[in-house]
Structures are given as structure tokens and as C-alpha cells.
């Protein structure tokens, strides 16, 4: 099977340029730049093997303190069961940085999270992603070439000097390095407000990458900026599709990226659930569209969603707008509360779901045999500047 690139055979509207990004059949063929779409190079246990749980337990026990397993809240139950710690992307970054004694960090999450863990851990620790096809479509929406080009556009408009890049954790190590080199910080969904407050103390404008929704929701609903203060930079259009005047007038320059999972929620789902369950609390992730977040009662990261449900009154009703593995787990943990999924259709994050028990067993058993599979390594130069940006985030008040 071959990788399919998006640079040909595309029927694009006038003025829209094709992206150089490779469109890959997930799980097949290699993409050297993103490590996405790489076949598992070993003997993967069969998903129907009845001994998978026992094998994972035995391998983990043999490895003992040598391995530390991090599990993002969107992982499958069968994987979460083996996580030493679970969390949102901020908590997991901190947890990775706080484990200097574990030679192997197995990251059950997606590629950008494992990259961040590699940046935050020492050189003799090895970070492993059990399936290299576990990427993030949002992170792929900003390539370093596109972002460098955008920075040139801002420089030509005379505003690069007063613009501070703020990049969402859901971005490649290259983008994080760009951010560190240019005086910016990383943020996650749990500290985006603090990151923006910090950025506006350093400069007059923010270039927010790559999730337009988190950027807009935080700027408008938490910092009190107006929608008119925000412009949308489209990397597929010359000059981002913006005039120099628009760029100079803006306070927030939002990259045109989004999460395909959270993009599915819409206002009609909020209205429908309010009609169906009177008194329901609508709780959504800030990657949802602005109108959805505005229509909701509460907004926050995956960790915030869990904590909110833990603190909720028995008998209360909740409609949650985020990935389905998490919503199901929260519902099962709170049988005394009514917890429903906000959308009518099933909504897993397909790349998060690539990490399954067979891949975890394969990873752990390989480690027991002394073989490190699927190591995620960021090169030294990228790591240096990406770490500057990540450290700025970890130091936010
Ligand atoms: P959290 O940081 O809230 O866990 O979000 C990560 C993510 O990828 C959400 O789609
Ligand atoms: Fe990326 Fe969306 Fe999946 Fe989060 S839920 S990892 S943003 S594709």
C-alpha cells in the first residue's frame, strides 16, 4: 500500500492551495515526518487471545519499576486498566517529567503526547507509543513549513515583533520548537486562560495554534475579547486569506485547525438534550465550536470533566460533549447520576483507539525480552526549543 499525498487530483476552489501533508491510510505505509501510518513491525497478539489480560499483567509485573504507564482519559477501558496514572494532557506531561527513575515510559495516548513526554524526560529514558499510527488529526493541521510561512506573513505586515505564539499541546514537536524560539508558550485545555494572560503581558497579539476553537473560546469567554478581535488564518490561502489591515487590527490570530471529534457536536444537540432531560447540565470540552460552548453550562478539560462529575450531586443529570470512551467511563463510575452523551451518534477518537490491548501486550512483552519497540525520539535541536516552550507552560502561575 502506498501513501497518498494531497498535492494532486484535488478539486480545490480558486485561491486555495493544496496542503503538502500526506494523507495516509492509517496503520500502513510510512510517513517519516509524522511517524503516522506505520505498520506494527512485530507479532501482534490476536485480539481474540483469551489470555491477553493475564499476559499484560505478567509482563508488567516482570518489568516492575522499570516501566511507567501513562494513560490519557480517552483510552479504551482495557488499556486504562494497566495505566499507572491517568490524566488530561497537562497532568500527563507533568507526570512524565516527574518520573526520572523509570527507564521506560509507555505512553497510552497519541503521538504529540509521547513526543512531549520525550522532551520532558531525560535522554536515558525511553518513551514508547504502543501504536505509531496513533496520531492526532488536529496536530496534523499545522506543519512547520506552514507556520514559518505564516510568521513571514506577520513579519511583512509589521506585527511579528508584537505577536506571541501560543501553541496548544496538540501540535508536533516542530511547532513547539517554533513556539519556544519565538518567545511563546505551550498551553493545554486546562491552562489556556493562564497562557493567554501571560502572552498578553509579553506582547500585543497572540498567534494561537492549531485549534481555532480553544483559542476563540478562551479569548472570548474567559478573557472578554470580542469575536471581532479574532481573525482566522487559513494556511491554504495566500497570506492566510487575510489583509494586512485585518492582521494589524486583530488581537487573536487563530490558526484554522480543529478537532474532528469535537467538531461533531452542535447547538441542536444541546437544545435537544435540554428538552429531553429538564434540568440537565451540559458539560463540554473547549475544543467544541464556539456556539456549542456558549450554549453549554460548563466547559473544561478531560480532567475537569471527571472532577466535576465526582463533585456533582447524586440524582443530577449531565450531558457530556467529549470523546465517548471517557463519557462511558464517567457514566459507569456514577450510577447515582444520569450521564448521557451529548451527540446522537457514536464519537470515539479513532486514533486514540488505535492503542488497544494487543499493542500494549506486544509493547510490554518486547520490553521484557529487552527490545524497545516504537520509541518516540525528538531530535536534540527541536527538543531544545520545544522544551523552552513546554517549560514556560509548566511555570505558568
Ligand atoms: P485534554 O488535555 O483535555 O485531555 O485534551 C486533550 C485532547 O486531545 C482533547 O481532544
Ligand atoms: Fe486529536 Fe481530537 Fe483525538 Fe484529541 S480527540 S487526540 S484533538 S483528534
Name which residue sits closest to atom 2 of ligand 2, judged by CA: 259
Ligand 2 midpoint to CA 323 (Å): 8
pLDDT at 387 over 60: yes
Question: At what angle are helices 111-120 and 89-97 packed, to 10 degrees?
Answer: 30
Q: Is 349 in the pocket of ligand 2 (CB under 6 A)?
A: yes
Q: Which of 351, 353, 354, 355 to mutate to test the pocket of ligand 2 (most atoms within 8 A of CB)?
A: 351
Q: Which atom of ligand 2 is nearest to the CA of 110?
A: 6
Task: Count the neighbouring beta carbons within 10 Å of the beta carbon of residue 248.
Answer: 14
Q: Which domains does the chain have, with CATH numbers?
A: 52-137+352-382 (3.40.50.10800), 149-259 (3.40.50.10800), 262-341 (3.40.50.10800)
Residue with cell 457530556: 320
Strand partners for 299: 284
CA of 136 to the centre of ligand 2 (A): 5
Question: Best substitution site from 71, 259, 287 to test ligand 2's pocket, by max atoms within 8 Å of Cβ?
Answer: 259
Write b or e for each residue in 197-215: b if 16 or more Cβ atoms lie within 10 A of its Cβ, otherwise e: ebbbeebebbbbbbbbbbb
Residue range 269-319, pLDDT digits in tens:
999 999 999 999 999 999 999 999 999 999 999 999 999 999 999 999 999
Q: Does the beta carbon of 301 sit less than 6 angstroms from any atom of ligand 1?
A: yes
pLDDT tens string 141-168: 999 999 999 999 999 999 999 999 999 9
Residue pLDDT, tens place only, 188-244: 999 999 999 999 999 999 999 999 999 999 999 999 999 999 999 999 999 999 999
C-alpha cell at 295: 450554549
DSSP 3-state of 184: coil
325 lines ligand 1 (CB under 6 A): no
Cβ pair 103, 373 in contact under 8 A? no
Residue written as cell 514537536? 173
- Helix-strand-coil percent breakdown of the chain, rounded to 5? 45, 15, 40
Cα distances (Å, whole numbers) of residue 197 to 21, 159, 225, 282, 354: 32, 19, 12, 27, 36
Q: What are phi and psi of 214, to 5 degrees?
A: -60, -40
Tell me if 187 sits within 8 A of 116, measured CB to CB.
Answer: no
Q: How confident is the model at residue 20 (pLDDT cuts 50, 70, 90)?
A: very low
- Measured from the CB, is residue 322 less than 6 Å from ligand 2? no
Q: Are 106 and 365 in contact (CB under 8 A)?
A: no
Distance (Å, rounded) from C-alpha 304 to C-alpha 283?
A: 10
Ligand minimally distant from the alpha carbon of residue 111:
2
DSSP 162: G
Q: What pLDDT digit, counting tens, does each position of 28-49 carry?
A: 344 545 545 455 666 789 999 9
Q: What is the mean pLDDT of the segment spanning 175-190? A: 97
Amino acid at each position: 500500500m502506498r501513501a497518498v499525498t494531497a498535492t494532486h487530483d484535488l478539486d480545490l476552489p480558486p485561491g486555495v492551495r493544496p496542503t503538502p501533508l500526506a494523507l495516509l491510510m492509517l496503520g500502513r505505509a510510512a510517513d517519516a515526518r509524522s511517524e503516522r501510518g506505520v505498520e506494527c513491525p512485530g507479532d501482534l497478539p490476536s485480539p481474540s487471545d483469551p489470555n491477553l489480560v493475564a499476559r499484560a499483567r505478567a509482563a508488567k509485573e516482570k518489568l516492575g519499576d522499570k516501566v511507567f504507564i501513562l494513560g490519557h482519559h480517552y483510552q479504551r477501558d482495557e488499556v486504562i486498566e494497566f495505566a499507572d496514572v491517568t490524566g488530561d494532557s497537562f497532568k500527563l506531561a507533568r507526570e512524565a517529567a516527574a518520573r526520572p527513575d523509570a527507564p521506560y515510559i509507555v505512553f497510552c495516548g497519541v503521538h504529540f503526547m509521547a513526543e512531549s513526554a520525550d522532551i520532558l524526560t531525560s535522554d536515558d529514558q525511553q518513551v514508547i507509543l504502543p501504536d505509531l499510527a496513533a496520531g492526532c488529526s488536529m496536530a496534523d493541521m499545522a506543519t512547520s513549513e506552514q507556520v514559518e510561512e505564516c510568521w513571514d506573513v506577520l513579519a511583512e505586515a509589521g506585527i511579528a515583533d508584537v505577536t506571541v505564539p501560543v501553541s496548544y499541546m496538540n501540535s508536533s514537536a516542530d511547532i513547539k520548537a517554533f513556539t519556544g524560539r519565538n518567545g511563546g508558550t505551550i498551553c493545554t485545555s486546562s491552562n489556556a486562560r493562564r497562557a493567554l494572560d501571560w502572552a498578553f503581558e509579553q506582547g500585543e497579539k497572540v498567534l494561537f495554534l492549531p485549534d481555532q476553537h480553544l483559542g476563540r473560546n478562551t479569548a472570548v469567554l474567559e478573557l472578554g475579547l470580542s469575536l471581532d478581535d479574532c481573525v482566522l488564518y487559513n494556511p491554504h490561502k495566500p497570506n492566510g486569506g487575510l489583509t494586512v489591515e485585518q492582521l494589524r487590527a486583530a488581537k487573536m490570530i487563530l490558526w484554522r485547525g480543529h478537532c474532528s471529534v469535537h467538531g461533531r457536536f452542535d447547538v441542536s444537540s444541546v437544545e435537544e438534550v435540554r428538552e429531553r432531560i429538564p434540568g440537565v447540565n451540559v458539560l463540554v470540552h473547549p475544543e467544541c465550536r464556539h456556539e456549542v460552548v456558549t450554549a453549554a453550562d460548563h466547559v473544561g478539560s478531560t480532567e475537569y470533566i471527571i472532577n466535576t462529575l465526582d463533585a456533582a450531586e447524586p440524582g443530577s443529570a449531565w450531558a457530556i460533549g467529549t470523546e465517548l470512551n471517557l463519557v462511558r467511563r464517567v457514566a459507569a463510575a456514577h450510577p447515582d447520576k444520569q450521564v448521557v452523551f451529548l451527540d446522537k451518534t457514536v464519537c470515539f477518537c479513532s486514533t486514540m483507539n488505535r492503542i488497544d490491548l494487543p499493542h500494549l501486550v506486544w509493547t510490554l512483552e518486547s520490553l521484557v525480552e529487552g527490545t524497545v519497540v516504537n520509541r518516540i525520539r525528538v531530535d536534540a535541536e527541536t527538543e531544545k526549543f520545544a522544551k523552552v516552550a513546554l517549560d514556560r507552560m509548566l511555570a505558568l502561575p
